[in-house]
Structure formats: structure tokens, C-alpha cells
Amino acid sequence: MAKGLHFLKTHFIPAILLLFFSISISIAKPNCTDRCGNVSIPFPFGTTKDCYLHRSFFVNCNDTHYDPPKAFLGNSAINITSISLEGQLQVWQFIAKDCYSLDGSRYYIVPWIEIPRYLTVNNTANKFTVVGCDTRGFVSGNRVDRKYQTGCSSLCTSEDDLDKGSCSGVGCCQTSIPKDVWRFNITLESFNQYKNYDNRMNKWDFNSCSYAFVVEETSFTFSPRNLYGLRNVKKLPMVLDWAIGNETCESAKKNLSSYACLSNNSECRKPDNGHGYRCYCLKGYRGNPYLVDGCEDIDECKDPSLNDCEKDRCVDIEGSFQCVCPKGYQGEGKTDGRGCVRIRGESLTLKFVAGVSVLLLAFCLFYLELSRRKLVKMKQKFFLQNGGLLLQEQLTRRERNRSTLCNRKEYGFQNGLFLSKSGRTWPVKNSQELGISAHSSLIAG
Ligand SMILES: *[C@@H]1O[C@H](CO)[C@@H](O)[C@H](O)[C@H]1NC(C)=O
Ligand SMILES: *[C@@H]1O[C@H](CO)[C@@H](O)[C@H](O)[C@H]1NC(C)=O
Ligand SMILES: *[C@@H]1O[C@H](CO)[C@@H](O)[C@H](O)[C@H]1NC(C)=O
Ligand SMILES: *[C@@H]1O[C@H](CO)[C@@H](O)[C@H](O)[C@H]1NC(C)=O
Ligand SMILES: *[C@@H]1O[C@H](CO)[C@@H](O)[C@H](O)[C@H]1NC(C)=O
Ligand SMILES: *[C@@H]1O[C@H](CO)[C@@H](O)[C@H](O)[C@H]1NC(C)=O
Ligand SMILES: *[C@@H]1O[C@H](CO)[C@@H](O)[C@H](O)[C@H]1NC(C)=O
Ligand SMILES: *[C@@H]1O[C@H](CO)[C@@H](O)[C@H](O)[C@H]1NC(C)=O
Ligand SMILES: *[C@@H]1O[C@H](CO)[C@@H](O)[C@H](O)[C@H]1NC(C)=O
């Protein structure tokens, strides 16, 4: 049992995961590798000729000299650490150094980067940063169609001046990079070649160095140790934005044989930075918009954070989801208090009322019949108890007498009723009041 479980853990679950990832998230072209070491490589990027969209999206995956393999931007020495389909690329870029020794010799290295035209330096994620105590640094180069130059100065006289985490001009300064930069050179200058700086600094192996680099802001926090520590650092991370070509969405759509947004459920957008266009999956879809069938429907119902339906009330539909109430319930089925409530509609009330009425009626009828029978029985009982038979006999006898009487007299008064031959009666208050005799001809009509 335990062995079976172990097998499940070591073989089955990874197999499922592998299946899940290889089937549902295919980011590269068929038969193309989608990884280089730790870096995932989505199309339009690729490691071989058939796998990338254009030569400028070539990723050189060097597996002969590195284990795990390392990804490089084209044939450059810039290594890539991540590629996102949202349009960013994290690369490691060389830093510039300018160091002075006490004997007056100088070690100076300044990189310059010319990145392919489809790449631009991300202007929101990066900062041009200068570290040093007798330093000014510049970054200059080309924006899409013009030149630019910017920079800052950093000075300090003693270690005590330096604030950890603060890059505000003392030992460290930062400035923003403008938009649309695709080519830049870094220049480092010293005001006094560290000739008259505080001697105390020499003591902590300060080494009188200046550094300058374009860096991903979140990856670099200034520390006084940087003043000598950076000497042994070659590269720091930087974020580039990538896009397709140099056309706008409108003109790119005109040539469907070159238009890159191949997925049906994708859209074209202009990037904030740089030129060209980018493709995105429509809302409710995910995947790679640059591939045919690349954008797949998201099953929002599987992820509670993607839907606001009450439990088990969610139904996935193409590109979206719906909250559905079961039969006999109404409402929106949402967790924000607008859940499902049992329908108290007319039809149900009517049914209920009708049912109850029928039941009541049946009960009444039954009760009435019961009491009628009881009454009859009681009458009979009392009749017998109170000598009813005798009375009846007497009554019959009296009746007989009266009929003889009536026969004799033809008409007569009985119980205040004027009795006719035919048996019709008229109420009479007092026979005297009438002032007529029993033999009046009144009756004749
Ligand atoms: C992928 O590779 C297999 C076998 O090597 C081949 O049969 C298939 O046609 C290839 N598919 C594509 C799209 O190149
Ligand atoms: C691969 O990525 C993981 C997580 O992002 C990281 O911890 C690991 O160090 C990386 N390995 C290499 C060789 O870069
Ligand atoms: C891999 O990297 C090594 C050292 O940087 C280099 O000499 C070699 O040419 C590279 N291989 C490829 C295929 O780029
Ligand atoms: C990129 O290259 C630099 C310098 O060679 C190295 O320090 C860094 O670790 C590399 N990054 C990756 C992810 O290979
Ligand atoms: C950067 O410097 C190099 C060498 O000095 C020069 O050839 C190149 O034109 C410069 N690039 C820019 C963008 O200024
Ligand atoms: C777009 O790029 C092509 C080739 O790379 C070039 O010939 C053309 O002039 C560019 N168009 C614009 C508007 O930059
Ligand atoms: C459309 O794109 C294809 C492939 O890139 C190209 O050969 C063709 O000349 C383009 N057509 C037009 C009208 O631009
Ligand atoms: C994409 O849309 C076209 C036109 O609407 C249609 O012919 C084609 O079948 C669709 N492809 C997929 C995979 O849905
Ligand atoms: C810069 O990169 C961040 C992610 O690191 C992204 O959110 C932002 O949109 C990018 N800026 C531009 C102008 O593309």
C-alpha cells in the first residue's frame, strides 16, 4: 500500500503534471523546445531557425559550455533570465567601472549596448544608477528617432555620510531612463580622480572606484558595501521590452501573411514603450497569442479567485463564466450576498392556497355530513326516549279527528292559521278580527 502510494507520488503525479503542462500550456511551436535551462522560451522566440518568428528573436541556448544550459540574446554575451509573453525580457547587462589606484593607475571599463531594434529599455522598471564618492555618470544614446543624454553625480567625503538603502546623491544616485531607448553608451567621469578624498575611506578597502549601470530597480538596493563590493560584479539584471516589427496594429493587420497575432482569441495592442505591436489573449483566455489556437479558454470555475459565484453555482462558458441558480431558485448566485433564494412566486402560492382550500372544503363536507348523521341519530334517540311513538300515535289520532272535523265543517281555524280545503293556509291574527264567519265566501276564490 505504502509502496503503491510512493509510486503514485514519484511517478504518477509528475506524469500528470507533465501531461498537464505539455498539453494545456504549449508556448512554443510544435516540435520546438520551449526551455533553455531555467528559462522558458515562448514563440516568437526560439532556439533554432524553424522555431523563431524572425532572426531577431533568436535565443542562443548554450548547452555545450553550461550545465544547466544558458540562454543568450542572439549572438551577444547578454544572458537572458526570463522571457514573458506580456512583452518583457530580463537580461543581465555589464556594468561600467572606473577605478583609481594610489599609484595613479586607472582601471576603466565602459560597456555600450546596442540591442536589436525590436527591443527597448523598459523605462518604468529600470533606473540608471551611479555608485561612487567622486563620480558623475551619463547614459547617452538613441531613442526611436532622436538622441538623448542624461546622468547624475554622486559625492561623499566619509563612510558616515552613506545611508543604507538610500540612493539620493550621497555615494549613490539614480535617474530615470526615457522611453523608446534602444541603444545606449555609459560614460563615467571623476571630478578629482579620488585625489583628495577622506583617508579614512582607504582603510575599509574602498579602492576608489566608480560604477554605473542601468538596473532593474527592484533588484538593486544600495548599501555602503557596494562601493568596494561591486568591483567583483560583472553584470546586473535589466528589463527590456519586446514587440513585433515596427508597424502599427492597423497597418500590420493589412498583411495577414505577416500579421503575428495568429490566435483567434487574441488582440493587437500598441506597446507603451518602443515601436511595433504586441499580441494579447482576449479576456477569459490564456496562452500564447502568437500561435494558431494559442489562446485557450480559462476555466474560471476551477479557480475560486477567478469567479465570484457561490460554491457549485459556477458554469464555465467560452471566454467567461456564469453563476447559475438551480431550478426553483432565483438570484445571481454570487458570493457578494446576491446568492440564490427559493422562488416564492405567484404560481407556487396559488398552488399552495388551492391545495389548502380543497383540503378545507373536503374537511367541512365531511364534518357537515358527520354532524347531520349525529343529529338524525340524536333525534331518533330523543324521539324514542321521550315517548315519541306515543306522541306520534296521539298525533295521528288527532289528525284523524281533525280531518273528520274538517270534513264536517269544511274549513276551520287551527293554531291561528286559516286552513282551506286545499290545505293552503293564511296567517290570521285573530279570527274575530277578521269579522267573518267560517262560512264566508272569501275562501271560495
Ligand atoms: C514533429 O515531429 C514528428 C516526428 O519527428 C513529425 O512526424 C511531425 O511531422 C513534426 N511536426 C511538425 C509540425 O513539424
Ligand atoms: C531556476 O529557477 C529557480 C526558481 O526561479 C531558482 O531557484 C534556481 O536557482 C534557478 N536555477 C538556475 C540554474 O538558474
Ligand atoms: C557557448 O559558450 C562558450 C563560452 O562562452 C562559447 O565559447 C561557445 O561558442 C558557446 N557556444 C555556442 C553554441 O554559442
Ligand atoms: C548571467 O551572467 C552573469 C555573468 O556571467 C552571471 O553572474 C549570472 O548568474 C547569469 N545569470 C544566469 C541566470 O545565468
Ligand atoms: C557608443 O560608443 C561607441 C564607442 O565609443 C560608439 O562607436 C557608438 O557610436 C556610441 N553609441 C552611441 C549610441 O552613442
Ligand atoms: C521598419 O523596418 C523596416 C525593415 O526593418 C524598414 O525598412 C522600415 O523603414 C521601418 N519602418 C519604419 C516606419 O521605421
Ligand atoms: C506581406 O508579408 C509577406 C511576408 O512577410 C511579404 O512577403 C509581403 O511582401 C507582404 N505584403 C505586403 C503587401 O506588404
Ligand atoms: C478561427 O476563426 C476563423 C474565422 O472566424 C474560423 O474559420 C476558424 O475555424 C477559427 N479557428 C478556430 C481554431 O477556432
Ligand atoms: C516595464 O516592465 C514592467 C514589468 O516589469 C511592466 O509592467 C511595464 O508595463 C513595462 N513598462 C513598459 C513601458 O512597457
3-state secondary structure of 360: helix
Is 212 found in the same domain as 132? Answer: yes
Atom of ligand 9 nearest to the CA of 241: 14
Identify the pLDDT of residue 356. 72
Structural domain includes residue 332: yes
Q: Which residues, 6 or more positions from 341, have their beta carbon under 8 angstroms from its beta carbon?
A: 329, 330, 331
Structural domain includes residue 391: no
Which one of the ligands is nearest to 138 CA?
5
How remote is the CA of residue 116 from the centroid of ligand 7, in Å? 21
What residue type is assigned to position 58 of the chain?
F
User: Measured from the CB, is residue 31 less than 6 Å from ligand 1?
Assistant: yes
Nearest CA to ligand 5 atom 2: 185
Residue 205 · residue 67 · CB < 8 Å: no
Nearest CA to ligand 1 atom 6: 31
Q: pLDDT-derived band of residue 134, with 50, 70 and 90 as boundaries?
A: confident
Please give the average per-residue pLDDT across 383-401, as a whole number: 66
Is 230 found in the same domain as 153? Answer: yes
- In a 10 Å sphere around its CB, with 0-12 CB exposed, 13-18 middle and 19+ buried, how is residue 208 labelled? buried
Q: Is the peptide bond before 326 cis (omega within 30 degrees of 0)?
A: no
CA angle, 317 then 322 then 327, to 5°:
115
Which has more confidence, 382 or 61?
A: 61
The reported pTM is 0.70
Is 97 found in the same domain as 230? Answer: yes
Which one of the ligands is nearest to 79 CA?
4
Is pLDDT above 60 for 206?
no
Identify the pLDDT of residue 376. 76
Identify the pLDDT of residue 218. 93
Is pLDDT above 70 for 200?
no
55, 254, 258: which to mutate for ligand 7, most atoms within 8 A of CB? Answer: 258
Which one of the ligands is nearest to 238 CA?
9
d(CA 221, CA 354) in angstroms, rounded, equals 78
Residue numbers of the domain that contains 326: 300-342
d(CA 98, CA 422) in angstroms, rounded, equals 147
Q: Give the three cell numbers for residue 418.
A: 286559516
User: Measured from the CB, is residue 79 less than 6 Å from ligand 4?
Assistant: yes
Atom of ligand 5 nearest to the CA of 183: 13
User: Measured from the CB, is residue 185 less than 6 Å from ligand 5?
Assistant: yes
Which one of the ligands is nearest to 294 CA?
8
Of 78, 146, 150, 83, which Cα lies nearest the Cα of 114? 78
Which one of the ligands is nearest to 271 CA?
9
Q: What are phi and psi of 334, to 5 degrees?
A: -100, 155
Nearest CA to ligand 4 atom 12: 81
How remote is the CA of residue 38 from the centroid of ligand 4, in Å? 12
Last residue of one domain, picked from the residues 313, 342, 371: 342
Is 95 found in the same domain as 221? Answer: yes
Residue 245 · residue 277 · CB < 8 Å: yes
Tens of pLDDT, residues 85-109: 999 999 998 899 998 877 777 888 8
Identify the pLDDT of residue 343. 76
Is 330 found in the same domain as 230? Answer: no
What are the CA-CA distances from residue 288 to residues 29, 37, 231 (Å)? Answer: 10, 20, 41
Nearest CA to ligand 3 atom 2: 65
Output the DSSP codes for 10-51.
IIIHHHHHHHHHHHH---S-TTS--EETTEE--TT-BSSTTT
Is 321 found in the same domain as 183? Answer: no
Is pLDDT above 80 for 358?
no
Is 305 found in the same domain as 227? Answer: no
Cell 492597423 belongs to 250
d(CA 445, CA 437) in angstroms, rounded, equals 16
d(CA 277, CA 269) in angstroms, rounded, equals 6
How remote is the CA of residue 252 from the centroid of ligand 7, in Å? 10
Q: Output the CA torsion sign for 343, 348, 350, 352.
A: negative
Is 310 found in the same domain as 181? Answer: no
Is 101 found in the same domain as 231? Answer: yes
Structural domain includes residue 66: no
Tens of pLDDT, residues 182-192: 888 898 988 87
In total, the chain counts a number of residues equal to 445
3-state secondary structure of 444: helix
**Per mean pLDDT, which range of 373-377, 378-382, 401-405 is the poorest?**
401-405
Structural domain includes residue 386: no
Is 307 found in the same domain as 238? Answer: no
**Percent of the residues in the chain that have a pLDDT greater than 90, as a whole number:** 29
Atom of ligand 8 nearest to the CA of 292: 13
Which one of the ligands is nearest to 253 CA?
7
Q: pLDDT-derived band of residue 377, with 50, 70 and 90 as boundaries?
A: confident
CA Rg, the chain, in Å? 52
Last residue of one domain, picked from the residues 289, 323, 342: 342
Structural domain includes residue 189: yes
Identify the pLDDT of residue 353. 63
User: Measured from the CB, is residue 68 less than 6 Å from ligand 2?
Assistant: yes
Identify the pLDDT of residue 7. 43
d(CA 298, CA 147) in angstroms, rounded, equals 44
Is pLDDT above 60 for 417?
no
Identify the pLDDT of residue 369. 83
Q: Is the peptide bond before 271 cis (omega within 30 degrees of 0)?
A: no
Identify the pLDDT of residue 400. 66
What residue type is assigned to position 138 of the chain?
F
Tens of pLDDT, residues 268-286: 999 988 889 999 999 999 9
User: Measured from the CB, is residue 70 less than 6 Å from ligand 4?
Assistant: yes
Q: Give the three cell numbers for residue 59.
A: 535565443
User: Measured from the CB, is residue 60 less than 6 Å from ligand 3?
Assistant: yes
Structural domain includes residue 183: yes
Is 234 found in the same domain as 307? Answer: no
Q: What are phi and psi of 356, to 5 degrees?
A: -65, -40
How remote is the CA of residue 365 from the centroid of ligand 1, in Å? 85
Last residue of one domain, picked from the residues 342, 374, 401: 342
Is 232 found in the same domain as 311? Answer: no
Structural domain includes residue 410: no
For the chain, how many structural domains are there in total? 2
Instruction: Say if strands 172-176 and 329-331 run parallel, antiparallel, or are unpaired.
Output: unpaired
Atom of ligand 1 nearest to the CA of 31: 1
Structural domain includes residue 165: yes
How remote is the CA of residue 242 from the centroid of ligand 8, in Å? 27
How remote is the CA of residue 256 from the centroid of ligand 7, in Å? 8
d(CA 98, CA 324) in angstroms, rounded, equals 67
